[in-house]
Amino acid sequence: MPRTLPSLRCSPSLPWRPVARATSALLGLCFVLGSWAPPAQAEEGFRYWNYHHLTAGAWEFSQVGAAGYQPKDGAVEGYRFGATPNSDKNGLPPRADLDEVSFESVCGGEQAPAGDKRVAVVIDYGVPADADGEAPADPRAGCAVVDTTANGQQALAAVADVRTQDGLVCAIDGHPVSGCGEPVSDVQVSDNEQPVAFELPGAEKAAAGPTDESAADPAASTTDQDSDLLWPAVGVAVLAGLIGAGAFALNRRRNSA
Amino acid sequence: MITFDKVGLTYAEADAPVLADVELTIPEGELCLVIGRTGSGKSTLLRAINGLVPHFSGGTLSGRVIVDGRDTRRHRPRDLADVVGFVGQDPLAGFVTDTVEDELAYGMESLGLAAAVMRQRVEETLDLLGLPDVRHQPLADLSAGQQQRVAIGSVLTTHPRILVLDEPTSALDPQAAEEVLATLQRLVHDLGLTVVLAEHRLERVVQYADRVVLVPGAGRPVRHGDPAVVLQDSSIAPPVVELGRVTGWRPLPLSVRDARRRAAPVRALLADRRPPTPERRAPGPPMEPLARVDHLVAGYRGLRVLDGVSTGLWPGEVVALMGRNGAGKSTLLRALVGSKRPTSGRVRLGGVAPDELKPTELLRHVGLVPQEPNDLLYAHSVALECVQADRDAGVGAGTTRTILERLSPDIPDSAHPRDLSEGQRLTLALAVVLAARPPLVLLDEPTRGLDYTAKHRLVEILRDLADAGRCAVLATHDVELVAEVSSRVLVLADGELVADGPTPDVVTASPAFAPQTAKILAPQRWLTPTQVATALAEVTEVSL
Amino acid sequence: MRPQHLVTHPRSLHPGAWWLWALGLAAAASRTQNPVPLLLVLAVTGFVVAARRSDAPWARSYGAFLKLALVLIVVRILFQSVLSSGSQGPTVLLTLPDLPVPGSTGLKLGGVISLEAVLQATYEGLQLATILCCVGAANSLGSARRLLRSMPGALYEVGVASVIALTFAPQLVTDAGRVRAAQRLRGQSGGGLTSMKRLAMPVLEGALDRSVELAAAMDSRGYGRTTHRSRGSRRLTGLLVFGGILGVAVGVYGLLSGTSTSWFGLPMLLAGCVLAATGTYLGGRRTGRTKYRPDPWALPEWLVVGCGLVPAVTMFWSVRTDPASLFLASATTVPPVPLLACAGIMVGLLPCVLAPPLPRVGPVAPVGTAPVEAAA
């Protein structure tokens, strides 16, 4: 129904001033909120996998990423997850007792065929404070038998699952599950960390029994796990395929109609 | 309604004015036709009515244009939107929305009309223009005639008092043009609208005009008045007027009906004379065709555009390809140059398939001037364009320039191809194509935007090509041009070849394709005023 | 119940609803690189488009977006595997002759290509491709130009600019095809720098001409003829809207980036929304534009938006509660199935029945018994 409008339409004069004042206050509040940062008494840093080389019996914080470094045969590489303050130039080293964890103890049971090299990879998943809720896995070490040209990241990938992003190592064995080098505003630095026990390949072998060769191979254990995961993934992929095929068929019918 | 008071206009960076001292008054309720050669300032005159000139185009306007009491110097185009409806040359380029209804409503939305009013006016306009069936359809899917009608409707909904149209029928086939013109006439008669339109195809519109404004160009004074008076000695005239001049009818007839009522004596004079038939250079066994098309099927996205077309093209022919918008004319031309691959059937250019030819080979077999000659041109000046064309064709330096000189001697070397008039641009593109000396030359809608003078030039060029043993094919809606130049006509409809024969047989068979002269002198089969003039001269000689 | 509330009453859905639905799916896709939910999102958008698109030209654009998405994945794979050989995994697929890139960028051309790198690139590419396809779905289901009609008055000018830009690109592609065909007629085989130059000149000039033509047409049809607005009120409106959009952008970034500093995301988003709404309200009542047959926003619109919201919410929830199923421990592991997120994405499929069917275009079919009475 058409409404009859008065011939002269006057818009009510707007209460501009109070509106303007209120909105500018709101705007100001927003920017204050947006730029507000917690007080800077705690140290700021990032939470990531610290990468170390064992040189002359001590951990040395690597100056390059694992992908850009080529460990030599017989090298020991250390990875330690944790929040690291920006001021820390030495990084967080793995909490390994270097008397127990050495190239010999890790790679002693492995032989490298010609053209390959052995690299001991020491992985420390860090402390619960740095993990998201769940307790991190026990630290472990593995022996990577890889091509002589392999870089650090490839050696690591030979003994663990590695999640990367833009060439950086973000997670090892799914730890942390998400994120990559996230900023931490409140880094707890403990001055002297006690060495913890590392699970060594030899020990695992002993526990599983000397005849069971495959148990020592981390890849074999993940394969079992994978086959459990395979069927749901295949199922959903088939579902997606069916929906896509349905879309295609529907489109065909429309075009021919 | 519209008053031009000593109006002059000079564009920025131009040394001469386009319009000077224009004194013109168009009263309410008239259909006013603006004529003139290309580049004479017709469009400028039209655009000055709603203020696009100079508010949008720039330039210096002297004098005053008063539209319904408003001075365009103080009113921008948007402020005149409720008085003047302006429809530009390419309707598709001016569409702001997606669908017919939205487009009709756009102008009213801008003016802030109430929803109920808008609803009512959209319905009215849909009925007035015969568009209710397509109201929800996307604009891009409409036929060219429907698009033009939507463009007219979209400015009508604001209830303007004046409607300005720039070449509303130049891209339309004869039937669609009839629809649009019938609509315009209805608007003038039923709604009392003032309509100002520019048009090159006078044969289509002059009969409806109450007044003709002749823009001679180059700043010379504008003439206006009764159509029959203005056209008496104008260099621009439709065939019916030319025939009137040949036969000495006064006042000049403007419509086929006027002329036909007076044509009986002329018909009697010519009764025992036979119109010249285009000599067909005996196609068939002795002569190999330049191109053969066999059962050609081609289309786009499931849509069959060509459906089993078979024909041949022989040396020495000028073949006209006619048919509605969307009948498949352009697709056939594209198939002949291999841009469109056949779905089935085959195309052969002297034994080879055009889509298998390398580009450098192709241009020696066939040349195509596309609908938009600009697509073929890319250099910054005419001279560079010619040099590049010589290089592309692998011919001696200066070849293209020589050809261009012969086709159109007045094109300056330094001009930018985009600044040339339509006719000049067409001849430049044609010169570029002809540089490689292809035996087969195809032209897609060459007369779009061409004035009569340019068209005469084109006719001469095409005749020269045919005389030199080449073959020219032109896809066109222009029946007068077809009657003038072509020896054979192919008519496409719904993807099929519905007629293929000598021009007089085909064009006189259907009123839609018949030129004015043929309509006036039917059942005799004279096609052009020139033919009649020659025959009449002979008759008079004999009787003397 | 009025007919527009019925999901069976034929009409075209508000384009805004389609865009929000698609944005919900895109937001879900933005949080994971797990190919399982990504493929599901892709299939869902494809199916809904096939089921509910119209026959208009813009509705056919989903295919083009899909092709573009495939190209994107391929390019991503090529770049990742050929260019950055530093991050290759141990499973070598093939070795190309390598070529060090000068400088200490760590980049290498060629060299080893590993399964890990290819998979990683595929997953990253798939994520981008899925988001792209969501935009494509929105574009083909709800025309961008029709969306513009529902724009609030204060944002109208900005909307016009962006819509012209949106329709400009496909037009350029069409033109380029035409000019390329014409180049062949001049004996150019295409390819190379000179041919690009020859292509660019006519295409760009044509596009420019057309834009000028469109601007002239809009001006002569009263575009921008707003009723008197004072300069101050115009500035205030602009400030409010701009501030609001800024707030929304910062808020959305805070929410989506998923970093530990995201606590300000929600308040920023809300404040931004309030500001923008105030600005558009104030600006809207000052423009003289009216709307012809505004698209109704009724129950089906809410349902469709809800169907887009569910995948986003379940995905965000899953990221929080069960991140292990959304982030792959390594590129070679079999992707886990995040059941909750997948179920949420499947809800996104419902608009294929919840969105009302499109009315028949063309010859008008006899209208059946009014569904209004049936519902009442």
**Using CB atoms, which residue from C86, C275, C333 is nearest to A23?**
C275
**Would you call C149 an interface residue with chain B, using a CB distance cutoff of 8 Å?**
yes
**What is the spatial distance between Cα C138 and Cα B483, in angstroms, rounded to a whole number?**
52
**Would you call A256 an interface residue with chain B, using a CB distance cutoff of 8 Å?**
yes
Instruction: Please identify among residues 364-393 of chain B the ones whose CB lies closer than 8 Å to any CB of chain C.
Output: 367-368, 370, 372, 374-378, 389, 392-393
Instruction: Please identify among residues 37-56 of chain C the ones whose CB lies closer than 8 Å to any CB of chain A.
Output: 39-40, 42-44, 46-47, 49-51, 55
Q: Nearest chain A residue to C46 by CA: give it.
A: A247
Q: With contact defined as beta carbons under 8 Å apart, do B511 and B358 qualify?
A: no
Tens digit of pLDDT for each residue in C205-243? Answer: 888 888 888 888 888 888 877 655 667 777 787 788 788
- Compute the average pLDDT of residues B447-451: 80
Give φ, ψ of C365 to 5 degrees: -80, 150
**With bands split at pLDDT 50, 70 and 90, how would you rate the model's confidence at C369?**
very low
Q: What confidence score (pLDDT) does residue B355 get? A: 87
A-C contacts (CB, under 8 Å): 167
Q: With contact defined as beta carbons under 8 Å apart, do B284 and B268 qualify?
A: no
- Compute the average pLDDT of residues A200-219: 49
**pLDDT surpassing 70 at residue A191:** no
Q: How far is CA A222 from CA A161, A165, A177, A204, C117, in A?
A: 9, 22, 17, 15, 20
**Would you call B108 an interface residue with chain C, using a CB distance cutoff of 8 Å?**
yes
Q: What confidence score (pLDDT) does residue A218 get? A: 45
Q: Nearest chain B residue to A5 by CA: give it.
A: B114
Q: With contact defined as beta carbons under 8 Å apart, do C324 and C33 qualify?
A: no
Q: Which range is most confident: A209-213, B235-239, C108-112?
A: B235-239
- Compute the average pLDDT of residues C311-335: 88
Is A19 in contact with C282 (Cβ distance < 8 A)?
Answer: yes
Q: With contact defined as beta carbons under 8 Å apart, do B518 and B483 qualify?
A: yes
**Would you call A7 an interface residue with chain B, using a CB distance cutoff of 8 Å?**
no
Q: What confidence score (pLDDT) does residue B104 get? A: 94
- Tell which residue, B417, B412, B423, has the closest CA to residue B379: B417
Neighbours of chain B (3+ CB pairs under 8 A): A, C
CB atoms within 10 A of CB A182: 16
**What is the spatial distance between Cα C23 and Cα C20, in angstroms, rounded to a whole number?**
5
**Would you call A255 an interface residue with chain B, using a CB distance cutoff of 8 Å?**
yes
Q: With contact defined as beta carbons under 8 Å apart, do C119 and C332 qualify?
A: yes
CA B460 to chain centre: 18
Q: With contact defined as beta carbons under 8 Å apart, do B448 and B481 qualify?
A: no
**Using CB atoms, which residue from A1, A2, A255 is nearest to B302?**
A255
- Give the range among A18-32, B304-318, C164-178, C225-239 with minimum mean pLDDT: A18-32
Query: Structural domain boundaries of chain A?
Result: 43-213
Tokens 């500018």 correspond to A24
Tens digit of pLDDT for each residue in B123-169? Answer: 999 998 889 988 888 888 888 888 989 999 999 999 999 999 998 88
State the smallest CA–CA distance between residue A59 and chain C in angstroms: 24
Is B301 in contact with A255 (Cβ distance < 8 A)?
Answer: yes
Q: What confidence score (pLDDT) does residue B194 get? A: 95
Q: With contact defined as beta carbons under 8 Å apart, do A115 and A107 qualify?
A: no
Query: Structural domain boundaries of chain C?
Result: 1-145+294-337+344-376, 151-221, 231-292
**What is the spatial distance between Cα B45 and Cα B216, in angstroms, rounded to a whole number?**
12
Q: What are the residue ranges of helices labelled H in B437-528?
A: 452-467, 479-485, 503-509, 516-521
- Tokens representing residue C203 in the block: 């295409």
Tens digit of pLDDT for each residue in B346-368? Answer: 999 988 999 888 888 898 899 99
- Tokens representing residue A247 in the block: 């879309």
Q: What is the largest CA-CA distance in chain B?
A: 75
Q: What confidence score (pLDDT) does residue A257 get? A: 56
State the amino acid at position C87 in one-letter form: S
Tens digit of pLDDT for each residue in B31-90? Answer: 999 998 877 888 889 999 989 888 888 888 899 999 999 999 888 898 899 999 999 888
- Compute the average pLDDT of residues B392-415: 86
Q: What confidence score (pLDDT) does residue B121 get? A: 93
**pLDDT surpassing 80 at residue B265:** yes
Q: With contact defined as beta carbons under 8 Å apart, do B194 and B163 qualify?
A: yes
Per CB-CB distance under 8 Å, the chain A contacts of C240 are: 23
Give φ, ψ of B395 to 5 degrees: -115, 170
Residues in Cβ contact with A142 at an 8 Å cutoff, skipping those fewer than 6 apart: A106, A120, A121, A123, A159, A160, A201, A218
**pLDDT surpassing 70 at residue C63:** yes
Q: Tell me which H or E stretch contains C30.
A: helix C15-30
**With bands split at pLDDT 50, 70 and 90, how would you rate the model's confidence at B286?**
low
**What is the spatial distance between Cα A150 and Cα A164, in angstroms, rounded to a whole number?**
16
State the smallest CA–CA distance between residue C178 and chain B in angstroms: 7
Neighbours of chain A (3+ CB pairs under 8 A): B, C
A-B contacts (CB, under 8 Å): 9
Q: What confidence score (pLDDT) does residue C112 get? A: 75
**What is the spatial distance between Cα B145 and Cα B129, in angstroms, rounded to a whole number?**
11
Q: What average pLDDT does chain B have? A: 88
Q: What angle do CA C209, C215, C217 make, to 5 degrees?
A: 105
- In eight-state DSSP terms, residue B77 is G
**What is the spatial distance between Cα B11 and Cα B117, in angstroms, rounded to a whole number?**
40
**Would you call A194 an interface residue with chain B, using a CB distance cutoff of 8 Å?**
no
Q: With contact defined as beta carbons under 8 Å apart, do C85 and C112 qualify?
A: yes
**With bands split at pLDDT 50, 70 and 90, how would you rate the model's confidence at B279?**
low
Tens digit of pLDDT for each residue in B328-343? Answer: 898 999 999 998 889 9
Q: How far is CA B275 from CA B318, B519, B523, in A?
A: 18, 14, 12
CB atoms within 10 A of CB B37: 22
State the smallest CA–CA distance between residue C70 and chain A in angstroms: 15
Q: What confidence score (pLDDT) does residue C313 get? A: 94
State the smallest CA–CA distance between residue C218 and chain B in angstroms: 7
- State what percent of residues in chain B have pLDDT above 70: 97
- Tell which residue, B474, B473, B535, B480, has the closest CA to residue B507: B480
- Tell which residue, B313, B316, B320, has the closest CA to residue B465: B316
CB atoms within 10 A of CB A91: 18
**What is the spatial distance between Cα A139 and Cα A94, in angstroms, rounded to a whole number?**
9
- Give the range among B11-15, B528-532, C10-14 with minimum mean pLDDT: B11-15
State the amino acid at position C292 in one-letter form: Y
**With bands split at pLDDT 50, 70 and 90, how would you rate the model's confidence at C37?**
very high
Q: Nearest chain C residue to B54 by CA: give it.
A: C216
Q: What confidence score (pLDDT) does residue C228 get? A: 55
Q: What confidence score (pLDDT) does residue A227 get? A: 59
Tokens 């048009």 correspond to B199
State the amino acid at position C46 in one-letter form: G
Q: Which residues of B241-263 are buried (b: 16+ CB within 10 A; e: fewer)?
A: bbbbbbbebeebbbbbebbbeeb
Tens digit of pLDDT for each residue in C64-85? Answer: 899 999 999 999 888 877 776 5
Strand-strand pairing, B291-300 and B303-313: antiparallel
Is C221 in contact with B393 (Cβ distance < 8 A)?
Answer: no
- Compute the average pLDDT of residues A55-75: 86
- Tell which residue, C162, C149, C129, C147, has the closest CA to residue C62: C129
- In eight-state DSSP terms, residue A37 is -
Helix, strand or coil, per DSSP, at residue B118 = helix
Q: How many CA atoms lie within 13 A of B217 on its CB side?
A: 11
CB atoms within 10 A of CB C214: 19
- Tell which residue, C316, C159, C167, has the closest CA to residue C241: C159
**pLDDT surpassing 50 at residue A49:** yes
Tens digit of pLDDT for each residue in B463-519? Answer: 999 998 899 999 999 999 999 999 999 999 988 999 999 998 898 888 888 999 999
**What is the spatial distance between Cα B43 and Cα B388, in angstroms, rounded to a whole number?**
32
Domains of chain B in start order, with CATH, are 2-95+162-236 (3.40.50.300), 291-494 (3.40.50.300)
Tens digit of pLDDT for each residue in C138-176? Answer: 989 988 778 877 777 666 777 777 777 766 777 777 788
**pLDDT surpassing 70 at residue A202:** no
Q: What confidence score (pLDDT) does residue A36 get? A: 43
Is C329 in contact with A246 (Cβ distance < 8 A)?
Answer: no
Is A67 in contact with C87 (Cβ distance < 8 A)?
Answer: yes
- Tokens representing residue B67 in the block: 């539209």
Tokens 């052009």 correspond to B528
Q: With contact defined as beta carbons under 8 Å apart, do C221 and B96 qualify?
A: yes
State the amino acid at position B113 in one-letter form: L
Q: What confidence score (pLDDT) does residue B188 get? A: 92
Tokens 């019996």 correspond to A57
Residues in chain C: 376
- In eight-state DSSP terms, residue B513 is T
Q: What angle do CA C75, C68, C53 make, to 5 degrees?
A: 160
**Would you call C202 an interface residue with chain B, using a CB distance cutoff of 8 Å?**
yes
Tens digit of pLDDT for each residue in A104-158? Answer: 888 888 888 888 899 999 999 888 877 766 678 888 999 998 888 888 888 898 8
**With bands split at pLDDT 50, 70 and 90, how would you rate the model's confidence at B212?**
very high
Q: What confidence score (pLDDT) does residue C227 get? A: 57
DSSP letters for A88-145? -SS-PPP-B-TTTSSHHHHHTT--PPTTEEEEEEEEE---GGGSSSSPPPPPEEEEEE
- In eight-state DSSP terms, residue B138 is B
Tens digit of pLDDT for each residue in B433-448? Answer: 999 889 999 999 888 7
Is B78 in contact with C363 (Cβ distance < 8 A)?
Answer: no
- In eight-state DSSP terms, residue B264 is H
Higher per-residue pLDDT: B542 or B101: B101
Q: How many CA atoms lie within 13 A of C269 on its CB side?
A: 11
